[in-house]
Structure 1
Amino acid sequence: MSTVTRLGGFALALVAVFGTAYEVGQVVDPEVPAVESRHDGGATSAGGHDETADRLPGGLLVSDRGYTLAPVGAPAGEFAFRIDGPDGRPVTRYDVAHDKRMHLIVARRDLSGFRHVHPDLGPDGTWRVATPLAGPGQWRAFADFAPTRGEPLTLGVDVTVPGELTERPLPAPATSTTVDGYTVTLTGAPQPGRTSSLTLTVSRAGQPVTDLEPYLGAYGHLVALRRGDLAYLHVHPDGTPGDGRTRPGPNVTFLAEVPSTGSYRLYLDFRHGGAVHTAEFTVVAGTAPTGGDPGASGPAPTGGAEHGTPGHGHN
């Protein structure tokens, strides 16, 4: 059953606390990620997964290695943030990774509403983009970047858009889904603690798609989010366009290492016909919890879960 909640008064009250004014429909509640420090040097996330500090997945921290993700005030219809560096000043120099200097990924806490966009950097170090937060809900925003002369990082922060929200159950695990007339089939399964090969096969009207177009330096771009704490995994493709061995479809293979058992949502971006499409899957790594994974209840996806609805797209 879907759960309808109301996000408004409490979130709006937090605006005054943070001293930043946003119009209704904008980000109103930057929150501290739900990750606790532990005396043994590890961390425990809100989802109950234990990991050592040196292997903590991306996106669970708002600050890491001296860098901090800081949302800033923005006009209606815009999302803005900056990355503050170890010296406390906004970072203004970034390396290009996957064809972009900044990847901003957002998803609601129920793993719906996924979007992957690319903001523009201002001279003052502020990144701005048309807001990818479509509709009410508690969202997680991930900044995936590589500061010049620094290590690649993924930082995450919770934000709230006020209003009436209908929470969506996580779709059941499936090995095939459809989006925009394409069928995408998944072969392989993630295995906790070790590298696994995941192959996504794209077809259309029953025919394999053999002319995929490069997108972000590859024939596909895969993001995985762990149910519960939304730990972020940026999975790497096996091969690149023009390397003499990687074909433009129908198969796109990724090497993935998930940190724990549990349910994950996979989001595959691929370009064909001049447009980017997103196929979504629920997968379970390792043994499902006793009694089944409650997050995997609900009907199997019959289309790219959020495709064609407001808030799902690419920039």
Structure 2
Amino acid sequence: MKDPLKITAYAAALAAFFAGAYGVGHVVGPGAADTGPAAHAGHGTPGSGTAGGQDAPAGGLEISGNGYTLDLKTPRVAADRNSALRFAIRDRTGRQVTAYQRRHDKELHLILTSRDLGTFRHLHPTRAADGTWSAPADLPEAGTYRLFADFTPAGKGAKNLTLGADLAVSGDYRPAPLPAASAVARVDGYTVTLAGRLHPGTAGELTVKVTRNGRPVTDLDPYLGAYGHLVALRSGDLAYLHVHPNGEPGDGRTKPGPEVSFTATAPSAGAYRLFLDFRHHGTVRTAAFTVTASGGGRTNEKAQRAQPEEAAAGHRH
């Protein structure tokens, strides 16, 4: 699917992803929870307990954590070809993990993005009995990609983790600059508008509004247990932040559009690429935004004045 970006209580771990997660589909500037957002360790709202604007922890920067390791069995694939990505999660004994907790309808969420953040994929891999995960991927451009596995092992007290590994895609490589900051994204006739600010080290509310042909969309479909999923990736090192909306379908207070709100904390000041996944009439689309979290706790004002960003061919599910 061609499309442009997803941030709130699910994905504080891409993050980046864009380690959701999978836990948007394209946003920041852009989904379930109780009265307030329920953050998951590694993706959700990192640093919610920090003070004084200190940097919050980020996910997806390490291949190992808490005794688990991401084993990428296909570290190289070719550009513009149908490829099968294979990987496993190993525990501290080296055994492949075969038992996971289901979160947002899945045992594991896989996010894949190019280093220049021009290509984004939110994939749904399948697990074999031996613990090997696999997912098809068609990556249009050569270069270095980052793969994020967002999961929670089975067991009482197990914490959510987002582990990351680099994937090499062979072919002619032409790096692209980060898209200009914008609070509006368009994809397949839909317009998604972002309101709110991304703050470093401090939780803030972000709200996205979905319209189609100028009319508010009030019948969004639930997607993975929510009305939207947001993944944020920090430009430069692809630190991953994946959050989910405030509220969930069927909770008696969350409406199916046109607005979806998220609570998110940026790991630090800097530029971020946000990917919001939403589903309408059975089709998942992704809206993407570029925003800046400043050291003073305010995003770049230019993000609110920039021209709308059109859907990018590299953003698919």
Residue 209 of structure 2 corresponds to 201
Aligned with residue 271 of structure 2, among 240, 263, 269: 263
Higher mean C-alpha displacement, 247-256 vs 94-103:
94-103
Q: Residue 73 of structure 1: CA displacement?
A: 4.2
Correspondence 1:131 to 2:137: yes
Correspondence 1:91 to 2:97: yes
Aligned length: 250
Correspondence 1:235 to 2:243: yes
Residues 136, 163 of structure 1: 8 Å contact kept: yes
Residues in 2 aligned to 1:185 and 1:202: alpha-carbon distance in whole angstroms: 7
Q: Percent identity?
A: 53
Structure 2 residues without counterparts, runs of 5 or longer:
1-53
What secondary structure does 1:104 align onto?
strand
Residues in 2 aligned to 1:59 and 1:81: alpha-carbon distance in whole angstroms: 15
Residues 183, 308 of structure 2: 8 Å contact kept: no
Residues 115, 132 of structure 1: 8 Å contact kept: no
Residues in 2 aligned to 1:265 and 1:312: alpha-carbon distance in whole angstroms: 12
TM-score by structure 2 length? 0.75
What secondary structure does 1:237 align onto?
coil
Q: Which amino acid aligns with 1:303?
A: E
Residues in 1 aligned to 2:293 and 2:237: alpha-carbon distance in whole angstroms: 15
Residues 79, 132 of structure 1: 8 Å contact kept: no
1:71-102 Cα offsets, whole Å, 9 max, x none, are 11499720000000122100000111111111
Residues in 1 aligned to 2:273 and 2:224: alpha-carbon distance in whole angstroms: 20
1:171-216 Cα offsets, whole Å, 9 max, x none, are 1111111011100000001111111000000000000000000011
Residues 268, 295 of structure 2: 8 Å contact kept: no
Change (3 A) 1:222 1:208: same
Change (3 A) 1:183 1:226: same
What secondary structure does 1:213 align onto?
coil
Residues in 2 aligned to 1:112 and 1:228: alpha-carbon distance in whole angstroms: 13
Higher mean C-alpha displacement, 198-207 vs 80-89:
80-89
What secondary structure does 1:131 align onto?
strand
1:267-303 Cα offsets, whole Å, 9 max, x none, are 0000001100000000111159xxxx9xx9xx95531
Residues in 1 aligned to 2:138 and 2:232: alpha-carbon distance in whole angstroms: 18
TM-score by structure 1 length? 0.75
Aligned with residue 173 of structure 1, among 175, 181, 203: 181
Correspondence 1:223 to 2:231: yes
Residues 192, 258 of structure 1: 8 Å contact kept: yes
What secondary structure does 1:164 align onto?
coil
Residues 171, 300 of structure 1: 8 Å contact kept: no
* Greater relative contact order (Cα < 8 A, sep 6+): 2
Residues in 2 aligned to 1:302 and 1:286: alpha-carbon distance in whole angstroms: 21
Residues in 1 aligned to 2:95 and 2:307: alpha-carbon distance in whole angstroms: 46
1:128-158 Cα offsets, whole Å, 9 max, x none, are 1112533311000000111102211000011
1:196-249 Cα offsets, whole Å, 9 max, x none, are 000000000000000000011110000000011100001131000000000000
1:115-194 residue pairs with structure 2 within 5 A?
115-149=121-155, 150-194=158-202
Residue 58 of structure 2 corresponds to 57
Residue 71 of structure 2 corresponds to 70
Residues in 1 aligned to 2:172 and 2:279: alpha-carbon distance in whole angstroms: 34
Residues 200, 295 of structure 2: 8 Å contact kept: no
Higher mean C-alpha displacement, 200-209 vs 127-136:
127-136
Change (3 A) 1:203 1:221: same
What secondary structure does 2:316 align onto?
coil
Q: Residue 263 of structure 1: CA displacement?
A: 0.5
Residue 11 of structure 1 corresponds to none
Aligned with residue 310 of structure 2, among 285, 295, 303: 303
Residue 313 of structure 1 corresponds to 316
Correspondence 1:105 to 2:111: yes
Residue 23 of structure 2 corresponds to none
Residues in 2 aligned to 1:192 and 1:98: alpha-carbon distance in whole angstroms: 26
Structure whose CA Rg is larger: 1
Change (3 A) 1:102 1:247: same
Residues in 2 aligned to 1:131 and 1:282: alpha-carbon distance in whole angstroms: 24
Residue 254 of structure 1 corresponds to 262
Structure 1 residues without counterparts, runs of 5 or longer:
1-49
Residue 278 of structure 1 corresponds to 286
Q: Residue 159 of structure 1: CA displacement?
A: 1.2
